[in-house]
Each structure stands twice: as structure tokens, then as C-alpha cells.
Amino acid sequence: MNKETQLQKNFDKQGFDAGASSLKIICWYFISVIFVRSGIIPFSSILVLILRMFGAKIGKDVRIKPGLYVHYPWKLTIGDHSWIAECRIENLAQVTIGSNACISQEAMLLTGNHDYKKTGFDLITKPITIANGAWVGARAIVCPGITLKSHAVLTVGAVATKSLEPYGIYQGNPATKVKDRVIS
């Protein structure tokens, strides 16, 4: 006989650690809503400064567009010369974005999910790595535990459910390799 899910407000978080105090989380929430997500500040350098103030490790010459959503900036690392558009970084676990990488408009990096095999819909978190030169296209989704290796491309609207090999171009849901990326 099949069991049924028993959704509860206090589901099993499997030892999840937000990585910051409740006060820091609350402060980040309000600063993020007012200044980062709202688009009120159009200057990348100020957005980078705000994220760094809350613990994000961000390299030099990084471009961040207004409207960015970052769940926990202290669990975010971005290398030099990367571009981050108005996307959603749902980083319950570490998200590492290499140098010269691009995360396009409305892309989603999801480090958390729920275990559909458990009656309590327990939380599962896994880190995401976007390697140097990789590109996540507009409205693409990167699932928990995925790595986009060096210069891989996840095309518009694609869903990465498995890691992407270096210099591969992937499309579809689930994303499959369609060709090699050749940079001239």
C-alpha cells in the first residue's frame, strides 16, 4: 500500500545550516528587497559592494544587473570578469561561479529540493559549480549538485539535471549535448 505525503511547516531539514544568525538573515532580507532585488540601484559596483558586505566572495570587474535574487550571499563565490543578470540564485548550499562566466536573465540556480520519496518531503541541498567561461542562458535552470564544466553552455530555457562537460552546448529538458562549443 502506498503512503501519502504529510506536509508540515517544520519538515526535516536534514541538519541544514543557513550559515548565519537569524539577525543577519533578517537584515539581508530587507536590504536585498529594498536595494538589490527592487532594481532601485542600477550600478553594478554598488550591488557588488552590498553582496560583499553580507559575505559574498566576488572577484574583480564583475557585472551584476539590478533585480538579482540571492538567497544567502555568504554562500556565493563569483570569480573575476563574470556577468550576472537579473536571475535567481537559490543558494541554500554553496554556489561557485568561476571567472568569465555568464548567468543570463531569469536563469535559476537551485541548490535545494525536497525528497519526494519521504512522507515528510524532507529538504535536500547540494552545491552548484559554474566553471570558468561557462554560460547559463536566459530562463535556464541548473538543478542541485550540478557542475557546468569549463566553457559549457546551457541554452535558453534548458534544464541541467546532470553535469555538463567542458565546451559542450546543451539544450532541452532534460538538457542534452547538441554540439561542441568552438571559440574563435
pLDDT tens figures, 39-87 = 999 999 999 999 999 999 999 999 999 999 999 999 999 999 999 999 9
* pLDDT (tens digit per residue) in 150-182: 999 999 999 999 999 999 999 999 999 999 999
pLDDT category at 15 given cuts 50, 70, 90 is confident
d(CA 167, CA 148): 9
pLDDT category at 7 given cuts 50, 70, 90 is confident
Angstrom CA distances, 93 to 1, 3, 34, 129, stand at: 35, 30, 24, 11
> Considering only 34-48, 79-93, 110-124, which range has the smallest mean pLDDT?
110-124
Q: Any bridge partners for residue 113, and if so which?
A: 124
Per-residue pLDDT for 8 more than 80?
no
Grid look-up 559574498 returns: 56
Amino acid at 53: M
Q: Which residues of 24-53 are buried (b: 16+ CB within 10 A; e: fewer)?
A: beeebeebbeeebbeeebeebeebbebbee
Q: H/E element holding 4?
A: none
d(CA 47, CA 72): 14
* pLDDT (tens digit per residue) in 129-138: 999 999 999 9
C-alpha gyration radius of the chain:
17
SS3 content of the chain, % helix, strand, coil (to 5): 15, 30, 55
What pLDDT is recorded for position 96? Answer: 98
CA 135-141-142 angle, 5° bins: 75
